[in-house]
Amino acid sequence: MKNRREFLSLGLASFAAMAMLKQQKTPVGVGINTLSVWDLPPINLNGWEAAIRELTFPPGLESPKHTHTGFVLGYVLEGKFRFQVEGRPEVVLSAGETFYEPPGAIHLLSGSASPTQSTRVLVVTLGEKGKEFTKRL
């Protein structure tokens, strides 16, 4: 890929294609591998927006304690990702693994699990338009 914008555009196109394929019979030659499925609370998404972001965590850097007003769906692109939401044990996820944060969950920990290598994570966030999505605690 030549740049981050091209990568993110392809990622969004892939998500859209997967959604369309779920509604139709899968064409011959197309493979679908479901990585994760999460139950979501019943909500109305009118006035909400989705964003796709790539996060890079340098070695030794962790995000501060925070919460999100909407949903976070994540996919580890590269490296080892330390992750913990309040009420759940800390986990270390590898490239290809996924995670989910429900709205309002307190995100205690996220960062590279390696003292020498960065970690890259692709996240899809869904939240209300015009509202602050991330709040530091």
Give the position of tokens 């996220």. Answer: 110
pLDDT mean across residues, the chain: 84
pTM for the whole thing? 0.74
Sheet of strand 134-136, all strands in order from the earlier edge strand to the far edge: 91-94, 80-85, 106-112, 66-68, 134-136
For residue 4, what pLDDT is reported?
Answer: 47
SS3 132: coil
pLDDT over threshold 50, residue 20 = no
